[in-house]
Chain A
Amino acid sequence: MSKQQYRLGIDAGGTFTDFILADHQGNVQLFKAPSTPHDGTLAIRNGLAQIADALGRTPAEIIADCDLCINGTTVALNALIEKTGVKVGLLCTDGHEDSLEIRLGHKEDGHRYDATYPPAHMLVPRHLRRPIGGRIISDGSEFSPLDEAAIHAAIDYFREQQVQAVAISFVWSVRNPSHEQRAMAMVRAALPDVFVCSGHEVFPQIREYTRTSTTVVNAYLSPVMGRYIERIDALFEELGAQQPTRYFQSNGGLAPGVVMRERAVNAINSGPASAPQAGLCVAQPFGIDNVITVDMGGTSFDITLSKGGRTNFSKDSDFLRYRIGVPMIQVETLGAGGGSIAHLDDFGMLQVGPRSAGANPGPVCYGKGGVEPTVTDANLALGYLADGALLGGSIRLNRQAAIDAIRSKIAEPLGISVERAAVGIITLVNLSMVSGIRRVSIERGYDPRDFALIGAGGAAGMHVMRLAEEIGSKVVLIPKVASGLCAFGQILSDIRYDQLTTLPMRLDDEFVDLEQLNQALQQLRERGMTNLRDDGFGGDNRIECQYSLEIRYLGQIHECSVELSCDRLDRSSLAALRESFHQRHKALFSFSEPNSPVELVNLECSVIARLQRPPMPELATPLKATAAIPAGHRPMLFNAQDDWQDTPVYNGDRIEVGQIIQGPCVIEEATTNIVVPPGWRVSLDPSATYELTPGH
């Protein structure tokens, strides 16, 4: 970090907004404020007030002393889940107005014979998808001219229908964007207050359906994102921030508001996408690079997996059943969190989630008007949380209210004890989390026993050991900042812009056009560098360009991605490139065809400005080991058939490096509780992370 003292990461989750403030001494502090979904700035102001209190400085002084303020947000994601994006009109090529609804004619795997699985929701209904004459063909030439009269008519209809965003996606615009550019200019001129985006800009690669769908999702979400960014940017500007706020993208990199407001589709998984880098950073001192990060907050449970230090990206894949082209970090998300509501279904069976009490009203024990018992209420009833504890600085937990709600809504209707009902709630929510972990590990061929589980989010510490037992993980790591792990991941991030293009070209020596290819590479790099320069980087930052070329054998439809280690290709590096393609093909698919012609399709260039990471904590190891002393005891119940056990409770602030504590016990940190069940033990590492292992 440069002259400034701090770096600030702010992760706005469904329930809490987390703040991680790192200084250049290696202090990493976590603060939390309840989220305020109707206006995200309120939560940020509240959080900054807490930070100001803690540091004895004003919010403006602190912000002015930050080299970067980073925001991860679920604004776009929530709008997509709750279908609260804006009304979108689509201009598409005449005859192809239904590609969005035909969805390649495919019904998702897993539902092959399920008669009641519904078709996907349409973000743009058919009457707002307007066919426009004019056709480009595969070589980029114009087959028929653009029908401007049809565009005028569509604009009139959009005006009458009061659409707030227009997506434009024409067949082969990726080879020749002139029709899209003209249509954009016409829409902008006629509807100046309407958001407009087009396929060749949002996802400039071959595949019409993917591009149209990505463009539509972007149009649907960007105005929502834009309104959010406007408020956040204004707030930080008012506080005297040195730099524009950076927003966290689904690809794991940062971008400023002026970029994000045009490309909300790049941020649909903004929040959880920072978990893998945080998880790997937490595991590094233990020599572990296989990690599954589980982040359990108030409303959702996010799972990511990194093997050998690498995290998988998905591209051209379905996200919430919408086809998304742009690359994003793979995250499995479940509707299971502390706020998940326990209820009896139509058959009188106990169910937990996916409905959540969120932050407002929140669980019953928050005393903010919630009446339906949640997972947090069950945790409190079982003693894992302390009665009367202060949460997020403002909420005082009321155990009796939680018990009463579980009794009246669950236990009495089922004719069972409150204890059994509470244990049942926990068991059910754990079950759904375990099946989620199985989906990202076992079902993708990874044995979860080879991975460390990283517990993140405020609620994970109470569940993660049970999950580890179920899937057979041998080590669980929970950093002191667990409940703000995503914000922690954000302050470790770099500035990253992915530039994509399509350039079909045979790569045999006699057909290749090296000049054109090198020109395309250079253009991508320059576009990325321009982004970086606009963003204020370039001079003293380490800049990296990662190229990947998507190549196939002539006649194949799908490509293998091959990384390029130089900026320019000549005859010999081209031969090397072809060779690495053959090798990659063989490694992936067991065979190669060294004598078959090879064809380039897509180019990708990620331009990354590496930011200097803040130093990590280094806790002192006491010269003389002492036994940890509990701050107190309280009764807890670990199994429905067992008795209540008087269980030691430790204050996390008093635990020293090297102390080994045997479960059952609870470690109370400011923002998270770690429930160590019988048969587990825990110790604190100098990196401020708790290591939990089974055994005595």
Chain B
Amino acid sequence: MNIVDPITLAVVRGALETAQREMTLTLEKTSRSSVFNLAHDYSNALFDHLPEMILQGQDLPIHLGSLIPAMKCVAGFFGDEIAEGDVIYHNDPAYMGSHILDCCMYKPVFYKGELVFWTVCKGHLTDIGGPVPAGYNPDAKEIYAEGLRIPPVKLWAQGQRREDVINLLLTNMRARAYQEGDLNAQYGACSVGERHLIELLDRYGVDQVRACITELKDMADRHMRALLRDVPDGFYSGTAILEDSGHGLGELSITAQVEIRGDEAHVLIESPPQVPYFINSYAGNSISGVYLGLMMFAQVPPPYNEGLYRCVSVDLGPSGTLCNAQEPAPHVNCTTTPMETLADAVRLALEQAAPERVTASWGHASGINIAGHDPRNNNDEYVTMVLASVISGAGANKAMDGWPACGPLCCFGALTSGDIELLEYSYPVLIHRYSLMTDSGGAGEFRGGSGTRLELEPLKHAMTVVGFGEGRQLPTAGAAGAKNVLLEPKLGRLIHRHVDGEEDHYIQNTLLTAQPGERVINVNPGGGGYGDPLRRPLATVLADVRNGLVSIDGARLEYGVVIDGNGQLDEAATHAHRAAH
């Protein structure tokens, strides 16, 4: 029975969203690294005293699920030892963190002596120590070789900043000033969130606000249950292939078994034993993958809170498997690979359950980190993930083409590539190209979104480049009869072009050094197509050709549309070609 006044409920909901949005704004405006301030590789959330998540913004799906168990883990670690003015920090996957670069700050919000809320801010620091700048170490056989693990630790205790602890953390990181600036920004975000929440409590009191929050979580629960009720009961299964990104063990597969019973779902993940390569996923990160697959089916509008998942139970499979990794498995690549593969497996299973909601896959992340010393700035060390490099194409569906340059799957459009001028101002690089690629979108009646090509040149210094991800061997999966003929342009790549024009092409994770005059070219895959490409209207194919998104060869080979040397449609040949298939 709803006893909450609907206007107050709306105001409380709005105030929570405002608090969360202001946290995001604070992080974006005050942080130092481009990963935070340009790319939005962070998530902010609010928890109640339980602690259950009461609001997550429209941030990264990577962080969507892991915050829920991580918050409980962190609060449980300190138990009763949580005081007003404390600020807790944490990144360790053994405590439900995602990967060690994602450092998370938790600030308990006290009101009249009582813990009422937590403001939580998780973001990708550009470095976390370890042997390879930016943390992606393809040679790591154990998590200990990847970087600094931070179990839950207090950075502020009862309002006192613990300089010794903060110094311990920062001493272990490269480009310390950047990491310190980002840590301050996280503190700012948590404090701004706290300020808004206290204003809300001043206005409506703890009881009324709590009643509203309970109702908001119940509303989300009712929503998800209603969606599941519409799906026929049964067992559904989906399997996605994980390509060999450099471990040498060949292709691996991840299977999701989804059982729907009434208005509840149970998800069981089956994956191979963990491997001595950085693509293992600990539980927190795997839960994010499962929830993302679920959201691709549910397509729920905001607000997002823990109520959504009340009717979903998850079993990640036996301990020590790829999707339920244990110490000492290395894991840093997990937020993209295998998280995206895992999300695809869940989505494929749900496709069987609700085919009318099918959407083709989005391109997986295939990107680079860069590091070096900035000659424009006292040779200060810089290190960053280049988020523009991971932006892939989105999958098509039964209503429309996939969005161009909107991925990768694990970020689902939440990431931003960053303005070219801001990137060049911040780092000593020249961005020669950041554009869409011809024939990169999966062929289909509805075409997959185009992927991107980024070309970088280091200016007056040698630059370390670390390639990571997948999508460089298998094209993004289409749906409903989509079929690719030109595979090459649909795959990701890392290319090192030397001064003489010679190119090294990499389809597995790589570490290299680029010199001035050389180019580092990162290609990201397009999205999957939907439906039979031969049914794509002629005028649409012609427009794609005119706009250079489909080549003349692509039009003929993939869409059966024949275009002559003058760019004119050859109707007779086209009809013959399409009829023959």
Interface residues of A (CB under 8 A from B): 94-99, 101-107, 109-116, 118-119, 125-127, 135, 137-139, 143, 171-172, 174, 206-210, 438, 442-445, 447, 471-472, 504, 553, 555-558, 560, 585, 588-591, 593, 596
Contacts and interface: CB of A to CB of B under 8 A. Distances in A.
A119 B403 contact: yes
A278 B101 CA distance: 52
Given A114-B301, A138-B425, A590-B26, 10 more contacts: A105-B388, A105-B405, A105-B413, A105-B415, A106-B414, A115-B399, A208-B420, A210-B419, A442-B15, A558-B30
5 contacts: A106-B406, A107-B412, A111-B413, A556-B30, A593-B184
Given A558-B29, A589-B26, A590-B191, A112 B302 contact: yes
Nearest to B58: A109
A555 B178 contact: yes
Contact of B301 (A102, A110, A472): A110
Contact of A555 (B177, B359, B404): B177
A588 B26 CA distance: 8
A500 to B, nearest CB: 15
A100 to B, nearest CB: 11
B46 to A, nearest CB: 14
B268 interface: no
A186 to B, nearest CB: 23
B412 A95 contact: no
B243 interface: no
A103 B418 CA distance: 10
B414 A127 contact: no
- Which among B11, B19, B434 has the greatest number of chain A C-beta atoms within 10 A? B11
B232 interface: no
Interface residues of B, number: 85
A110 B57 CA distance: 9
What 3 pairs across the A-B complex have the smallest Cβ distances? A107-B413, A95-B433, A442-B14
Interface in B65-105: none
Contact of B434 (A102, A106, A555, A585): A102
B434 A99 contact: yes
Contacts of B405: 98, 101-103, 105
A555 B415 contact: no
B435 interface: yes
Nearest to B17: A443
Nearest to A106: B416
B187 interface: yes
Nearest to B391: A105
Interface stretch (B245-253, B258-266, B320-328, B546-554): B546-554
B513 interface: no
A110 B388 contact: no
Contact of B420 (A96, A556, A557): A96
Interface stretch (B134-142, B291-299, B483-491, B504-512): B291-299
Interface centre among B61, B543, B547 (most CB of A within 10 A): B547
A556 B417 contact: no
Contacts of B32: 553, 555-556
Given A105-B416, A445-B14, A114 B26 contact: no
Contacts of A138: 421, 424-425
A556 B359 contact: no
Nearest to A112: B58
Contact of A113 (B296, B400, B459): B296
B11 A447 contact: yes
Contacts of A210: 419
A443 B16 CA distance: 9
A96 B434 contact: yes
Given A110-B302, A589-B192, A102 B26 contact: no
A557 B14 contact: no
A309 to B, nearest CB: 21
B436 interface: yes
A101 B391 CA distance: 13
Nearest to A175: B421
B28 interface: yes
Interface string B2-20: 0000010011001101110
A104 B414 contact: no
B149 to A, nearest CB: 26
A579 to B, nearest CB: 18
Contacts of B404: 98, 101-102, 119
A208 B424 CA distance: 11
Contacts of B546: 125, 127
Greatest chain B CB density within 10 A among A445, A504, A589 is at A589
A206 B14 contact: no
B237 interface: no
A98 B40 CA distance: 21
A445 B15 contact: yes
A474 to B, nearest CB: 13
B311 interface: no
A210 B394 CA distance: 23
A97 B405 CA distance: 13
A113 B178 contact: no
A172 B188 contact: no
B422 interface: yes
Q: Which of A102, A137, A208 has the most chain B CB atoms closer than 10 A to its own CB?
A: A102
Contacts of A589: 26, 29-30, 185, 188, 192
B435 A206 contact: no
B313 interface: no
B226 interface: no
Nearest to A504: B425
Given A106-B414, A556-B30, A585-B30, A115 B397 contact: yes
Contacts of B185: 589
Contacts of B7: 471-472
Task: Name which of A105, A116, A560 has the most chain B CB atoms within 10 A of its CB.
Answer: A105
B430 interface: yes
B192 A590 contact: yes
A341 B314 CA distance: 48
